[in-house]
Amino acid sequence: MTRRKLKAFIRKLFKILRMNAPRTAGSFAMWAAVFSVCNCSTVNVQQKEDPWNSIIASAATGRIMSMRSELRAASKSALGLGILFGFAEGMNIIRKKFLEERPSALSA
């Protein structure tokens, strides 16, 4: 690929990104709003703050955001987001345990 073609490709790519940025931002904002509502609802129902809240909220968000699809696709979306957030919460728990067990360099 020549330098001129590469520059033209990059310009075209950035033009496409600029055109789609509002749509992407709007989708992300909607997802974040639905997730926040679901997360606060699960905290209110369980009356405690734990990792299960975000896992349940992410699965509910996946289901709500894909309601226009058929039931099977919406269920896959909910399951996928639940697994993804479950993995993230598991890694967060492992990270916290690792940091708690490691002696601090400042306390020496």
Quote the pLDDT of residue 58: 94
Q: What percent of the chain has pLDDT over 90?
A: 75
Summarize pLDDT for 19-72 with one digit per residue, the tens: 999 999 999 999 999 999 999 999 999 999 999 999 999 999 999 999 888 889
DSSP letter string, the chain: --HHHHHHHHHHHHHHHHHHHHHHHHHHHHHHHHHHHHHHHHHHHHTS--HHHHHHHHHHHHHHHTTTS-HHHHHHHHHHHHHHHHHHHHHHHHHHHHHHHSPPSTT-
